[in-house]
Amino acid sequence: MRAFVTGATGMVGSQLVRQLLQRGDDVVVLVRDHDPQSELLRSRDIERTTVVNGALEDVTVLERALAQHAPDVVFHLGAQTQVGAAVRQPLDNFEANVRGTWNLLEACRRQKDLLRAIVVASTDKAYGDHQGSAYTEDMPLQGKYPYDASKVAAEIVVRSYRETFALPLVVARCGNIFGPGDLNWARLIPGTIKDALAGRRPVVRSDGSLVRDYFFVDDAAAAYLALADQAGRADVDGQAFNFSADEPLSVLDVIARIGSAMGRELIPDVRNIAQHEIPTQRLSSSKAQRVLGWKSQHTFASALTKTIAWYEAFLGAR
């Protein structure tokens, strides 16, 4: 395929680009900020891609990119992804996640004849709170906090462009993605590993009981590829799919497992100050397994081993 990837400098985008290149696909990437710490740059994978400089908020840049580079598949991963930042700066959050999505889809509409698949990255946060039940794709999207709501709104835009203009759209809803390349130290896994290596107690903003799905970045990228490869099928086209490792864990469980894997006793500093958090979020990926033949290739333990090794190397080199 010839792929156009938004959000290519992010953790998932960098891994997706790597997997595309390993397959021999041609890759065009949208880059807003030149971040030398991004895995896309550190790995020098960016040198094997075609780079378009610009932002999702500029529809002219997006249409020019599609018209000039003629991709047949678009992967829309670009977004503001931090829950805390969305609360602090809701306008920027909605601009990036909602306006950015309708800009991209409008550019796709204008270049519709080029495209056979548009894969849009959503999130389990869009489901909101369903009283601890495992999320399935037929559940209503009822996210209400700024980040959650922005992804719900983006999916409404997706549905509108799908139903009105018959764009070849598919949606991926993933759990909490982690792995090499994530330098957002406010997130649980990167922050805990960094604190452990520095001999500090890991800080827990909640009471530690929040349950989430933790999903390895390599598996997330592979899930997007599976959607793109099968998007033309009648039972895939226009559908949303959950992707997870089906292994939900609490915050305190994650910290304990990191400590065990690193051979350290980690005593968390539990502050219980978190706001706008849903107690339990877990995904059922049975539809993806049944329809796409997809299955996560990593357990949490095996993914954590690879992740810790990456952070040890990265932080040790600084």
Among the listed residues 135, 147, 161, 214, the single catalytic one is 147
Q: Is 147 a catalytic residue?
A: yes
Strands 73-76 and 211-212, bridge-based pairing:
unpaired
When pLDDT is cut at 50, 70 and 90, the band that residue 244 belongs to is very high
pLDDT at position 132, please?
A: 74
Residues 217, 79: Cα–Cα separation, whole Å = 16
Rounded to an integer, the average pLDDT of 127-146 is 93
pLDDT value at residue 133: 83
Nearest C-alpha neighbor of 170 from the set 10, 294, 36: 294
Residue 317: pLDDT above 60?
Answer: no
Instruction: Give per-residue pLDDT as tens, 182-194.
Output: 999 999 999 999 9
**318 has pLDDT over 60:** no
Q: Dump pLDDT digits (tens) for 246-281.
A: 999 999 999 999 999 999 999 999 999 988 888 999
Q: Tell me the backbone φ, ψ of residue 240, rounded to 5 degrees.
A: -110, 145
Q: Is 238 helix (H, G, I), strand (E, B) or coil?
A: coil
Q: Which domains does the chain have, with CATH numbers?
A: 2-177+214-243 (3.40.50.720), 182-212+247-281+297-316 (3.90.25.10)
What's the rounded Cα separation, in Å, for the pair 233 and 230? 6
- pTM of the shown model: 0.96
300 is written with which tokens? 């949490």
- Helix residue ranges per DSSP H, the chain: 11-23, 39-42, 59-69, 83-88, 90-94, 100-110, 146-165, 188-198, 217-230, 251-262, 286-287, 300-316
For 87-105, write each residue's pLDDT tens digit. 899 999 999 999 999 999 9
pLDDT band for position 110 (cuts 50, 70, 90): very high
How buried is 70 (Cβ within 10 angstroms: 0-12 exposed, 13-18 middle, 19+ buried)? middle
